[in-house]
Structure 1
Amino acid sequence: MERLATGIPVLDRELDGGLPAGSLVVLKADPSSQSELFLNTFTHVRETLYLTTVRTADAVGDALSASAVPTGDPRVEALDGGEPLDDALDRVSTLPDEGTLIVDSAEPLEDAETGRYRSFLGDLRGTVDDAGAIGVLHALDTGTRSRNRVVSEQVADVVFDLRTTVSATEIVNRLAVTKFRGGAALEEPVKLKLTDTVSVDTSRDIA
């Protein structure tokens, strides 16, 4: 099965070269974490369609331009707040072969009626699969579980869970790959440094 690199070397090594082509990925993270670094890095590897549901296209473009992470030249488009599911499907019809789709973030889409949202995800996954691409849903954990988050995780081929722990002395980020169709999920989380880039945290945990 063809693997597509994420652009994060430590993650690609752990995943035997990257993600299977055609995968739909859910990236779960705290809203106050540096999870956008992952999205920025993903845009560098391949031609990318970046759909934003919360920020304006200009705001996303400015943030990508200011990022210390190389971001390539993604096509950034804002979804219609009134009919985001229909608008998203219209726009992903132009997803390039072996490209990357990013939806940032998933919550406004997950607010839809469950049957309609499940149908939308099935269509989205089919489009990503037909293109041999990677689709990433940026799913923020806000403390109140999103209406259809469980549906997102069920339909997804891969689930990344970025866990950020804040203490009085440090911020610790660990990435768990809890679901991985077409391969093995990681046995333990990968400890990462998320500053202005994504790198491995080689510091030792002290019990």
Structure 2
Amino acid sequence: MAGRLKTGVDVLDRKLDGGLPPGCTVAYTASPASQSELLLYQLTAARGTLYISTERSDDAIRHSIESTQARVGSPTIRHITGDDPIEDAHRLVSALPDGANLIIDTMDVIERTDVDAYRTFLSDLKTQMLETGSIAVLHCLESDQVPRNRSTTLHMVDAVFNLETNIGATELENFLTIPKFRAGGAPTERIKLELANEVEIDTSRDIA
């Protein structure tokens, strides 16, 4: 579809009619024990990327990106270490150049902040994405202790990507679903993915 920006992940771009619309914000939910970061790393191949880490150090992120065999870019990596993660994230996001990717990995730390301040942060984030024609992907880990602002995240973003990892007796299966996509045209079926050296469709069985 004309005007959409490629994600850098071929399977996603095909399923999304060419990619994501400029200004789009995405919540990417996954288990902390999954290989969900591999998709984030491949996003950096499409265009300049600001990669904000709230937990792992910038050196750890850089090492993981450089170690993967997938096609990746050279993102600007910043680790938020201050007592006010919203202020630190806002400062970094406000300097985002036009037509860039923004990745926040993970959102959990920021989602545990003040409700009103967090809602304002997401609103400002959306405005920045629209003004710069950029894409934001917010990595949201699933856990028993759900951050109090998680529902706000899922409500305010434009799209939700969910990675489901099933561990069986003999194999591990990954399925990507897109339950929310305000731009329309999202796939209605689960996409079975192979998460090894790169993100690709698993064609070993029928995709269900």
Q: TM-score, normalised by structure 1?
A: 0.96
- What amino acid does structure 2 have at the position aligned with 1:120? F
2:110 aligns to what? Answer: 109
Give runs of aligned pairs for residues 45-124 of structure 1, distance below 5 A.
45-124=46-125
Judge conservation of contact 1:53–1:81 (CA < 8 Å) in 2.
no
Size of the alignment, in residue pairs? 207
Q: Give the C-alpha shift of residue 179 in structure 1.
A: 0.6
Distance in 2 between residues matched to 1:78 and 1:4, nearest whole Å: 26
Q: Which runs of 4+ in 1 moved over 6 A?
A: none
- What amino acid does structure 2 have at the position aligned with 1:160? F
Q: Give the C-alpha shift of residue 31 in structure 1.
A: 0.5
- SS of residue in 2 equivalent to 1:98: coil
Judge conservation of contact 1:128–1:134 (CA < 8 Å) in 2.
yes
- What amino acid does structure 1 have at the position aligned with 2:140? A
Deviations 1:155-201 (A, max 9, x none): 10010000000011111100001111112332111001001211111
Deviations 1:99-134 (A, max 9, x none): 100000000000012111111110111111111000
Q: Give the C-alpha shift of residue 205 in structure 1.
A: 5.7
Judge conservation of contact 1:21–1:132 (CA < 8 Å) in 2.
yes
Deviations 1:52-84 (A, max 9, x none): 000111111111111111221100001133011
Distance in 2 between residues matched to 1:135 and 1:101, nearest whole Å: 5
Q: Does 1:157 align with 2:158?
A: yes
2:179 aligns to what? Answer: 178
CA RMSD of aligned residues (A): 1.5
1:43 aligns to what? Answer: 44
Distance in 1 between residues matched to 2:19 and 2:38, nearest whole Å: 17
Unaligned 5+ runs, structure 1: none
Unaligned 5+ runs, structure 2: none
Distance in 2 between residues matched to 1:143 and 1:186, nearest whole Å: 28
Query: Percent identity of the aligned residues?
Result: 43
Distance in 2 between residues matched to 1:181 and 1:99, nearest whole Å: 20
Distance in 1 between residues matched to 2:27 and 2:71, nearest whole Å: 22
Deviates more, 1:132-141 or 1:66-75: 66-75
Q: TM-score, normalised by structure 2?
A: 0.95
Distance in 1 between residues matched to 2:97 and 2:58, nearest whole Å: 19
